[in-house]
Amino acid sequence: MLAIGAVLAGLALATGVAAAGNEIEAEPSGYRMEEFRSPVPATLKGATVVDTEGAHALWEKGATLFIDVLPQAPKPAGLPEGTVWRDKKRFDIPGSYWLPNVGYGRLNPKMSDWFKGRLAELTGGDKAKPILFYCLDDCWMSWNAAKRAIEEYGYTDVSWYPEGTDGWAFQDYPLKETKPEWFVP
């Protein structure tokens, strides 16, 4: 039995997955560029990492801006007339702003400017305003978006909630159907 545990621990170290949890061991220096639904690190330099209870406490206080960054495919332009398009429904934390697609590892300059501008609007230009980023469990989109807010846009009170709506729903906290705010080039 001990030998199996040692083999599993060794395999976890070799693959970069922590034996004690679902997170990878080391925080990367850059943005995650692919495989966005995979184990995330336990840390994000410059951010406070919160669990579900911590996120809920911030939500109850009401002073933190909650940003959902779950990606969503927009309705394709030029669909033939009569084509039925149904957006996938999203249920997020009440009071959140859903800014889809801002968590990719690379944003085109216009999308980056939109994200930066939208954060400035939502915070009233206060870079010390508390902001919490989330998505789903094991989703790098929120990690990337929070990192970008800190390193590129200069926000100083950033929280990252890696469990996202999966952790929130597991605790049976309220969720609300929402619509995305679209970046339009």
Between CA 144 and CA 149 the distance in angstroms is 9
Q: The domain spanning residue 49 has which CATH number?
A: 3.40.250.10
pTM of the predicted model as reported, rounded to 2 decimal places: 0.84
| The pLDDT of residue 25 | 67
Stretch (H or E) spanning 159: strand 158-161
Residue 11 in any domain: the answer is no
Residue 54 in any domain: the answer is yes
Q: Domain of residue 120: give its range.
A: 40-74+89-185
| The pLDDT of residue 168 | 98
Contacts of 126 (CB under 8 A, 6+ apart): none
Residue 114 in 3-state DSSP?
helix
Residue 93 in any domain: the answer is yes
| The pLDDT of residue 17 | 37
Residue 22 in any domain: the answer is no
Residue 9 in any domain: the answer is no
Q: Which burial class, exposed, middle or buried, applies to 170 when counting CB atoms under 10 A from its CB (0-12, 13-18, 19+)? A: exposed
CB 177, CB 70: distance < 8 Å: no
Q: How many domains does the chain have?
A: 1
Mean pLDDT by 10 residues, the chain (185 residues): 38 37 76 91 97 98 98 82 85 97 96 97 98 97 98 98 98 96 79
